[in-house]
Structure 1
Amino acid sequence: MASAWARCSAARQLPLRLTVGAFFLNSGLAKLGADEATAEQLHQFAATTYPFLDKHDAEKFVRLLSAGELAIAAALLVPVVPAAVAGVALTAFSVGTIGLYLRTPGMREEGSLRPTEQGIVLAKDVWMLGIGISLIAEGRHGHR
């Protein structure tokens, strides 16, 4: 019966893992070739919300961000990586982007969680949090 559960569980996870994994793969690969201006822009945006990031130079920050995104893509796309492990990676990343959304001025309407037009880019990342938590829950359930 455990084998049947594993097959069913893997089939349910496949659409989530493939779509989000492909998204992270594309994003991570795009950042590998980021020019200096793009690196500066990404770094400044992140460092404004998370000041500890200001210690790194922009190009190093973008290389680390790219590596992180590619690692998450691999965790999602490689089937031998347990769902809970992939879910933890995705959840951690999404908490960071949701933090950017909540803490960056101009991302939300005054006194509300509703995004401004500029904030939609980050607010939509809440789907990653939901998928990450679902993978964690499914991974834990499958190991009972």
Structure 2
Amino acid sequence: MSISEIALRAIPGALIVNSGVGKLQLPAEVSHGLHQAATSGIKAIEKLPADSFARNLGIAEIGVGGALLAPFIPSRLAGAALTTFGAGLMTMYFNNDENTEADGIRPSQAGLSLAKDSWLVAIGLGLMFFPSKRK
């Protein structure tokens, strides 16, 4: 694994695992808020129980971050997980008009925190399509 590949995996992986661990013990009212925000991007999430949504999201984040951190997981597979995760976050960005300026692309102040998740998609695609050469 190259140094650049390690950086592309370790830094987002550690941040995503940390985010997931932080969601495991959130109160039900916070979980409801996260559930409501997520349904703005992915309507099917409405069917999931809101009171346990944060815990389930945390477990998923730990899985994605863990795949990035585990050197035995191929970069293409870890990149696919990261791309899927990031794309889910981007649906929340694009499906809420308050997140973008009038052009529907540039982030508004409210959407800035979600717009930065586009980096996760870019990193995931990089890992999927430009993995280091193995001998």
Task: Bin the TM-score by the shorter chain.
Answer: over 0.9
Distance across 1 between alignment mates of 2:76 and 2:39 = 29
Q: 1:67-94, CA deviations, whole angstroms, 9 ceiling, x for partnerless residues?
A: 1100011111111111001000000011
2:51 corresponds to which residue? 59
TM-score between the two structures when normalised by the length of structure 1:
0.87
Q: 1:6-41, CA deviations, whole angstroms, 9 ceiling, x for partnerless residues?
A: xxx432211111110111011100100111111010
Distance across 2 between alignment mates of 1:130 and 1:74 = 18
Task: Indicate yes or no: 2:24 matched with 1:32.
Answer: yes
Greater share of helix residues, 1 or 2? 1
- Larger Rg, first or second structure (1 or 2): 1
Report % sequence identity. 33
Q: Aligned residues, how many?
A: 135
Shift of 1:143: 6.0
Task: Indicate yes or no: 2:89 matched with 1:97.
Answer: yes
Residue type at the aligned position of 2:2: A
Note if contact 1:83-1:138 (Cα within 8 Å) is conserved in structure 2. no
Distance across 1 between alignment mates of 2:44 and 2:124 = 25
Runs of 4+ in 1 over 6 A off after TM superposition: none
After superposition, residues 98-113 of structure 1 pair within 5 angstroms as: 98-113=90-105
Note if contact 1:28-1:70 (Cα within 8 Å) is conserved in structure 2. yes
Q: CA RMSD in A?
A: 1.6
After superposition, residues 96-135 of structure 1 pair within 5 angstroms as: 96-135=88-127
1:5 corresponds to which residue? none
TM-score between the two structures when normalised by the length of structure 2:
0.92
2:38 corresponds to which residue? 46
1:86 corresponds to which residue? 78
Task: Indicate yes or no: 2:130 matched with 1:142.
Answer: no
Note if contact 2:77-2:128 (Cα within 8 Å) is conserved in structure 1. yes
Task: Indicate yes or no: 2:3 matched with 1:14.
Answer: no
Structure 1, unaligned runs of 5 or more: 1-8
Shift of 1:61: 2.0
Note if contact 2:94-2:104 (Cα within 8 Å) is conserved in structure 1. no
Note if contact 2:25-2:55 (Cα within 8 Å) is conserved in structure 1. no
